[in-house]
Amino acid sequence: MTSVITLLTDYGLEDGYVAACHGVMAGIAPAARVIDVCHLVPSGDVRRGAAILAQTIPYLPQGVHIGAVDPGGGGLRRPVAIEAGGRVFIGPDNGLLSWAVAASGGASAAYELRNDEHFLHPVSPTFHGRDVFAPVAGRLCTGLRPRDLGPEVPLGRLVSLPEPTSVLRGGAVEGEVVSVDRYGNAQLSIAAGDLETLGLRIGDTVGVWLGRRRLSMPYRETYAAVPPGELVAFADSAGLIAFAVNSGDAAQRLGLPPGAHVRLAPVS
The set of residues, in sequence order, having a beta carbon less than 8 Å from that of 209 and lying 6+ positions away, is: 172, 262, 263, 264, 265
Residue 263: name the closest of 188, 181, 151 by CA.
188
167-266 CATH choice from 3.20.20.140, 3.10.250.10, 3.40.50.300, 2.40.30.90: 2.40.30.90
Residue 111: name the closest of 138, 83, 136 by CA.
83
The set of residues, in sequence order, having a beta carbon less than 8 Å from that of 153 and lying 6+ positions away, is: 78, 80, 93, 110, 111, 112
Residue 32, Cβ neighbours under 10 Å: how many? 19
Longest dimension (CA), the chain: 65
CB 83 within 8 A of CB 26: no
Q: How far apart are CA 47 and CA 82, in angstroms?
A: 18
Q: How far apart are CA 100 and CA 63, in angstroms?
A: 13
Model confidence at 75, pLDDT cuts 50, 70, 90, reads: low
CA dihedral (230, 48, 105, 33) in degrees, to 10, reads: 100
3-state DSSP percent of the chain in helix, strand and coil, to 5: 25, 30, 45
Question: What tens digit of pLDDT does each residue of 121-159 get?
Answer: 999 999 999 999 999 999 999 999 999 999 999 999 999
Question: What tens digit of pLDDT does each residue of 43-67 get?
Answer: 999 999 999 999 999 999 999 999 9
Q: Please name the CATH architecture into which domain 4-157 falls.
A: 3-Layer(aba) Sandwich (3.40)
Question: What tens digit of pLDDT does each residue of 1-26 get?
Answer: 568 999 999 999 999 999 999 999 99
Q: Considering just the CA atoms, what is the radius of gyration of the chain in Å?
A: 20
Q: How far apart are CA 160 and CA 245, in angstroms?
A: 32
Tell me the pTM: 0.90
Instruction: State the pLDDT at residue 262.
Output: 97
Question: How do the domains of the chain map onto residue ranges?
Answer: 4-157, 167-266
